[in-house]
Structure 1
Amino acid sequence: MSRAKPIPDTVTLHVPFRIVKRGGRKEMVLPADTPAQRRPDDALVKALARAFRWKRMLDSGDFATIAELATREGITLSYLTRVLRLTLLAPDLVAAILDGRQGPEVTLARLMEPLPAAWPEQRTAVDP
């Protein structure tokens, strides 16, 4: 069996993407019109887990103050309060982060900044 065209030795494939830093590591971001399989951001998931664990510890009465909890955990009070604010996120935002469906602009650094208390306002502030 013969072929009309010879098979080339090399094939060039063009894949449009950009590289962004997320949580101290580099990640490829595909164009918005490309359906992409995302995986959960480990830094965001870990921060959410810590936030809800600390909230449960405070609610149960294990620690009387957040300062006491920060001392026990060996972290600064400022960091603990910024992470603890993640418990105030809208439930659908939390679910999207845990499923890896959050947009590329949703980073831990962005969520550590003060966010609006109202859930509809959070959605527009986090994912413009």
Structure 2
Amino acid sequence: MPEGATQPRRTDNTLVKALARAFRWKRMLESGEFASISELAEREGIAFTYMARLMRLSLLAPEIVDAIMEGRQPEIVTLANMMDPFPLDWKEQRIRFLQPGTSDI
């Protein structure tokens, strides 16, 4: 891209929806509405393993969550990639999910 040009936003609606679900489920568990992920998964009609993997999204660094919500996430940040285990340390997440030369997050 030419110097000074801004990258167009590319909101990944699937990833945004997954983040919203993860944080919603986290709130439901933290509030005591459900005693376990198993109980919540059964109520939502979702496989426990899928829910547990999706809920990991609630552990992302705030800068990465903001970037996803604003459509500024690097191409490597897709729902498929985020379903794999990732580091819990926010610094390590930034290193892993930022593409070389990207300083947008």
TM-score bracket for the superposition, by shorter chain length: 0.7 to 0.9
Task: Name the one with the larger helix percent.
Answer: 2
Per the alignment, residue 101 of structure 1 pairs with: 72
Q: Give TM-score scaled by structure 1 length.
A: 0.72
> Equivalents in 2 of 1:88, 1:79: separation in Å?
16
Q: Deviations over 1:9-62 (max 9, x none)?
A: xxxxxxxxxxxxxxxxxxxxxxxx364311311011000000000000000001
Per the alignment, residue 53 of structure 1 pairs with: 24
Per the alignment, residue 83 of structure 1 pairs with: 54
Per the alignment, residue 65 of structure 1 pairs with: 36
Rg: which structure is higher?
1
Structure 1, unaligned stretches of length 5 or more? 1-32
Residue 104 (structure 1) shift:
1.3
Task: Name the one with the larger strand percent.
Answer: 1
Aligned residues: 96
Q: Which runs of 4+ in 1 moved over 4 A?
A: none
Residue 127 (structure 1) shift:
2.0
Does 1 or 2 have the higher relative contact order (CA < 8 Å, sep 6+)?
2
Q: Give TM-score scaled by structure 2 length.
A: 0.87
DSSP-derived class of the 1:98 partner: helix
Structure 2, unaligned stretches of length 5 or more? 100-105
Q: Deviations over 1:83-125 (max 9, x none)?
A: 1000000000000000000011211011111111110100111
- RMSD of aligned residue pairs (Cα, Å): 1.1
Q: Does 1:116 align with 2:87?
A: yes
DSSP-derived class of the 2:67 partner: helix
Amino acid at match of 1:100: G
